[in-house]
């Protein structure tokens, strides 16, 4: 199954379905979506709210942010047991276990009932006159208040600290398989960063373009990392320590917005590439863009334009995401920012439209 994050909530597609059907979070503009385990879904909307479900989206709860966290920019989830990793504008990265209780924030100025260690006065009018009744107020320790302010989040290190050690805007995150998982974070204008200590400290990945838009790893090939950048496809075979430009055939389409690796076949790649680059969106969100779908069957050494049912060029549109169905990897969905969805049910032998009715499909999420 593949979930689709849109400007009108989450839709789902499963093998054999003729079109996507509505799933959950209606009227929410979804900008990030992840499924770290069976039945577990986490989502981030454009308003900066984080949502969590442990029953495959039947019920959701809103996860509060830590005080002063600022606007979230990206979300990911992984681990066993799973946890959420959130990128924010003012505090960098933070993590929170899925299903963790939400601490109650105590306002020290508000009258509350609790233990008998301290008291406040509360007046009531009684039939025989006015009598002051005392209600207990709890002692709230500094530790409890600090925990409540964090709302269950643990602050992590900051990739690409700028002036005054402010974090950069995190565009995308991923984790690599292995005995020591490596975390990756793409920072706007500051390239790709990696962490080998669960996000506590970060180091830049050398030699990459400064704009990285998408990251993929290959579970069947530990250490392999694939990134879509403003200057081609780059691949690492040593968990991000060194990188190689794998953009043969992309000489006229080096601006990549999306990349995908086939499960179980890490040399089979798909990418969304711009035949004409963006013009800073001066005349509209997609003016001047012309994106096409490219494929490689040799790990990015050679790329070719896909012309099997889908348009050669998606005019004034952008390929937002590409995903394989984990249950049937020959099924692949392509999402355009306009909301169009295209699908191949046969590993790319031909492509066909899946839907043109969805509002702004921005994120695809494979669900095992």
Q: What are phi and psi of 227, to 5 degrees?
A: -130, 145
Q: Calculate the alpha carbon distances from 312 to 138, 274, 304, 309 in Å.
A: 67, 12, 11, 9
Contact 96, 63 (CB under 8 A): yes
Give the residue ranges of DSSP H helices in the chain: 142-150
The DSSP line for 300-360 is TSS-EE--SSS-S-EET--EEEEEEETTEEEEEEEEETTS-EEEESSTTS--EEEES-SS-
Domains of the chain: 1-101+151-156 (2.40.10.500), 103-150 (no CATH)
Token pair for residue 66?
């830590």
Three-point CA angle 13, 18, 20, nearest 5°: 35
pTM of the model: 0.85
Q: What sign for the dihedral angle of Cα 315, 319, 323, 329?
A: positive
Task: Identify the CA nearest to 258 among candidates 283, 239, 236, 233.
Answer: 233
Token pair for residue 43?
């989502």
Q: Calculate the alpha carbon distances from 74 to 77, 94, 124, 184, 215 in Å.
A: 11, 11, 50, 13, 13
Please give the chain's pLDDT, 368 residues, in tens.
999 999 999 999 998 888 899 999 999 999 999 999 999 999 999 999 999 999 999 999 999 999 888 889 999 999 999 999 999 887 789 999 999 998 765 343 433 333 222 222 332 333 334 433 344 444 444 545 555 578 899 999 989 766 545 567 899 999 998 778 999 999 999 999 999 999 999 999 999 999 999 999 998 899 999 999 999 999 999 999 999 999 999 998 999 999 999 999 999 999 999 985 555 444 444 456 789 999 999 999 999 999 999 988 998 889 999 999 999 999 999 999 999 999 999 999 999 999 988 888 989 999 98
C-alpha 43: how far from its chain's center?
A: 8
């Amino acid at each position: 199954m593949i979930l689709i994050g849109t400007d009108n909530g989450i839709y789902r597609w499963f093998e054999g379905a003729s079109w996507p059907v509505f799933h959950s979070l209606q009227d929410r503009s979804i900008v990030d979506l992840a499924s770290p385990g069976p039945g577990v879904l986490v989502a981030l909307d454009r308003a900066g709210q984080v949502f969590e479900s442990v029953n495959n989206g039947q019920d959701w709860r809103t996860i509060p942010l830590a005080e002063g966290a600022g606007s979230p920019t990206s979300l990911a989830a992984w681990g066993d047991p799973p946890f959420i990793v959130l990128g924010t504008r003012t505090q960098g990265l933070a993590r929170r276990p899925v299903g963790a209780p939400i601490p109650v924030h105590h306002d020290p100025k508000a009258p509350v009932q609790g233990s008998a260690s301290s008291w406040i006065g509360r007046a009531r009018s009684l039939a025989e006159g006015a009598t002051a009744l005392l209600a207990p107020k709890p002692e709230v320790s500094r530790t409890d208040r600090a925990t409540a302010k964090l709302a269950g989040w643990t602050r992590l290190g900051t990739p690409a600290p700028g002036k005054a050690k402010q974090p950069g805007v995190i565009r995308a995150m991923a984790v690599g398989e292995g005995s020591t998982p490596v975390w990756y974070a793409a920072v706007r204008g500051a390239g790709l960063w990696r962490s080998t200590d669960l996000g506590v400290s970060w180091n830049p990945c050398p030699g990459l373009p400064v704009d990285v838009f998408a990251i993929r790893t290959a579970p069947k090939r530990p250490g392999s990392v694939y990134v879509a950048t403003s200057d081609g496809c780059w691949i690492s075979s040593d968990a991000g320590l060194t990188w190689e430009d794998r953009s043969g055939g992309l000489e006229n389409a080096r601006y990549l917005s999306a990349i995908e690796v086939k499960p179980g076949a890490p040399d089979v790649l798909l990418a969304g590439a711009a035949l004409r680059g963006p013009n800073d969106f001066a005349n509209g969100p997609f003016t001047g863009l012309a994106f096409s779908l490219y494929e490689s069957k040799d790990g990015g050494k050679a790329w070719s334009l896909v012309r099997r049912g889908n348009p050669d060029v998606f005019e004034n549109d952008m390929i937002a995401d590409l995903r394989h169905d984990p249950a049937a990897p020959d099924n692949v969905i392509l999402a355009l920012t306009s909301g169009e969805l295209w699908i191949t049910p046969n590993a790319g032998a031909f492509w066909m439209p899946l839907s043109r009715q969805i509002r702004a499909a921005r994120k695809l999420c494979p669900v095992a």
